A = this chain, B = another copy of it.
């Protein structure tokens, strides 16, 4: 992708040094959850073990690949925010990371991906067979960990989240290559496939700590809105050169004909000629090498990447407001700041 086609207009509308701010926000969240995260990492390593050597080998390839572990961090930060002093959140944070990892393994098989977090995907190295099965294994292990929480309400939340995630992914498949997908339908997909797990990750901390319904629903709302913002930014970044530094390929969604908000908006705002371009490239998925630069230029022309970031900022504000009922503490500050971090990734 040439420099000219980079969606740099997104950056120009904000003046701050987002890069530095972002670095410190994730650092702060890591600091707040540091001691607990060490326990989660231990639990991850011990619970992914199996006498069948291929299982920890394949699972470890992805798990040790330098993911941020944002979702378990949210469980730990939520527990800290509300002053929970037990240990049941450790297993739940691990379960949340296992559900997420299982989803990634299956996604990579489903999408035939070759690159994730800058490394070859498990399906590329070991093939689809063990990748599907190790995903199932981690999923089962997540449930074993959840059962250990001894809370039927936690089990209801996380098993329901798992159902909804898969429904969201199937819904996404059925909207693939469909340019008539509305913004509402798109929001439904990303809420199901991404935001529901963020929400559950936060909510379960309130449940094991036995806090009031007010507290539990505030945590749920924080996680849900943050998750929506997170996925909106992910979908904007798929068209950004920043993506390359994250160990993913730029334009994957475009090549697959995955209909995300930047394209939904550009299709709606475009001319007939431009709509024909989107129909050929994303509906019929007949593409040439010149098409991705053209797509990027068109998204830029209609400002749909910055519009997507603006939408994300809207949900980010709702996430922050959900935390307003809590007293100030280091966890709250970190959870507020991580919202901006998730959004500022786009720059």
Residues of A within 8 A of B (CB): 50-55, 102, 106, 109-111, 128-130, 132-134, 136-137, 139-141, 143-144, 146-147, 150, 152, 155-156, 159-160, 162-163, 165-167, 169-171, 173-174
Contacts and interface: CB of A to CB of B under 8 A. Distances in A.
B110 A52 contact: no
A132 B152 contact: no
Contact of A133 (B139, B155, B166): B166
Kindly report how many copies of this chain are found in the complex they form together: 2
Nearest to A148: B156
B139 A136 contact: yes
Q: Which of A55, A141, A155 counts the most chain B CB atoms within 10 A?
A: A155
A160 B144 contact: yes
A166 B128 contact: no
A134 to B, nearest CB: 7
Given A54-B174, A144-B159, A174-B52, A166 B129 contact: no
B155 A137 contact: no
A29 to B, nearest CB: 29
Majority DSSP secondary structure for residues of A touching B = helix
A168 to B, nearest CB: 8
A132 B111 CA distance: 11
The 9 A-B pairs with the shortest beta carbon distances in the complex, nearest first, are A140-B162, A140-B163, A143-B159, A137-B166, A136-B166, A110-B129, A147-B155, A144-B159, A52-B171
Contacts of A136: 102, 106, 139, 162, 165-166, 169
Contacts of A130: 170, 173
A53 B173 CA distance: 12
Contacts of A163: 137, 140-141, 144
Nearest to A162: B140
A170 B128 contact: no
A38 B165 CA distance: 30
30 contacts: A52-B171, A52-B174, A55-B170, A106-B132, A106-B136, A109-B132, A110-B129, A110-B132, A111-B129, A129-B173, A130-B173, A132-B132, A133-B170, A136-B139, A136-B166, A136-B169, A137-B163, A137-B166, A137-B167, A137-B170, A139-B139, A140-B159, A140-B163, A140-B166, A141-B163, A143-B162, A144-B159, A147-B155, A147-B159, A150-B152
Given A109-B109, A130-B173, A150-B152, 7 more contacts: A55-B167, A110-B128, A136-B165, A137-B166, A143-B159, A144-B159, A144-B160
A111 B132 CA distance: 11
Contacts of A53: 174
A147 B111 CA distance: 31
Nearest to A141: B163
A310 to B, nearest CB: 29
